[in-house]
Amino acid sequence: MGSGVDGPTRGDAEGTAPSEAELSAGLSVIRRRRWYLWAVLLTYLPAIWLSLEITESDRKTAVVFGVWVAMAAVAGAVVAAARCPRCGNYFHLMGLMPVWVRKCLHCGLGLTVDKRAKGGPAGKLGG
Ligand SMILES: [Zn+2]
């Protein structure tokens, strides 16, 4: 009797939890993208003011405003497209609605959970 029963080798790629380093790397990408967005948003008043000072022209300032809106839209889209390193869903996107909170909308992973895990209270990393 030939026993030709080969157990199919199953590669369980899914269901494995990401390592701490992977979580940390993914979260730092999301944090950096959020900083870009904030940086763009914060340039609004200085950019408009500078434009008025330099050009003394409403029309040229309107162009600056248009450029700023485009940059903010791009930065917002980049942040919204960031993926959660733990569950793989869009970190800030619930359906099509961006929600700017500091944790994953799907699995609740905190934006700074890797920082809290590493450093103790007032912990300086020596060595
Ligand atoms: Zn998640």
In terms of residue numbers, what domain contains 57?
21-115
Residue 2 maps to a domain: no
Residue 120 maps to a domain: no
Q: Bigger pLDDT: 4 or 79?
A: 79
CB atoms closer than 10 angstroms to residue 30: 20
Q: What is the pLDDT of residues 57-114, one digit of tens each?
A: 999 999 999 999 999 999 999 999 999 999 999 999 998 888 889 999 999 999 999 8
Cα–Cα distance list, 44 to 39, 95, 115 (Å): 9, 29, 30
| Listed residues: CB within 5 A of ion ligand 1 | 84, 86-87, 104, 106-107, 109
Residue 49 maps to a domain: yes
Residue 127 pLDDT class (50, 70, 90 cuts): very low
Domains held by the chain: number: 1
Report the predicted TM-score, pTM, of the whole model to 2 decimal places. 0.72
Residue 5 maps to a domain: no
Contacts 24+ apart (CB under 8 A), 105-111: 109/23, 109/27, 109/84, 109/85, 111/27, 111/30, 111/31, 111/34
CA–centroid distance, residue 57 to ligand 1 (Å): 47
CA–centroid distance, residue 69 to ligand 1 (Å): 29
